[in-house]
Amino acid sequence: MAKFKFSESVSNGVHKQYADLAGEWEGTAKTWFEPDVIGDESPVSGKFRSILGGRFLLHEYTGSMQGKTLEGITIYGFDCIRGIYQSAWIDSFHMGTAIMLSESKPDSESFDVMGHYDTNEEGTEKWGWRSELKIIDSNNIVLTAYNVTPTGEEAKATEVIYKRK
């Protein structure tokens, strides 16, 4: 049995929150290649679109990394059956040719999802990639991602502070 009804979620739940983010945004993206040292800080602009009848939120963005243009797409979802947030992230820089699939713990009260990536190094466990979407108000949001070691230590990896255009 589904934990949530889509009809309710789209009118006053997570899918409504997603739909409210539709529009064009701009801001600053920070990237850390090592803890506490900003490796890059550059402008970023993006567009959120509600797709497939409001079931998903598509985020397309363009920015740069050390002077080179990058672009990416994140698809945000909320699985009403399981009551979990989900996302898929692809881009032209960080992810290479891989898709980062992430999901939240059950009953998470906000978008806070974890994905994993393989370092391809023999004997090494997968690392985590935790992403948050914080809605400050209707015109300000913050997207933050953390690298998580196999032992659970977190280090901020990227942060996008967006303002609605």
Contact residue for other proteins among 22, 28, 47, 88 (CB under 8 A): 88
Minimum Å gap between C-beta 139 and other proteins is: 26
For 109, counting Cβ atoms within 10 Å of its Cβ (0-12 exposed, 13-18 middle, 19+ buried), the class is exposed
The reply on whether position 94 binds other proteins by CB under 8 A is yes
Contact residue for other proteins among 28, 92, 140, 144 (CB under 8 A): 92
The reply on whether position 15 binds other proteins by CB under 8 A is yes
Find the helix or strand (DSSP H, E) in which 155 lies.
Answer: strand 154-164
For other proteins, give the closer residue by CB, 70 or 135. 70
Minimum Å gap between C-beta 6 and other proteins is: 6
Q: Please report, as residue ranges, which positions from 106 to 125 form the binding site for other proteins (by CB under 8 A).
A: 117-122
For other proteins, give the closer residue by CB, 98 or 136. 98
Distance, CA of 77 to CA of 14 (rounded, Å): 9
Distance, CA of 141 to CA of 137 (rounded, Å): 7
In sequence order, the 6+-apart residues with CB closer than 8 A to the CB of 47 are 23, 24, 25, 59, 60, 61
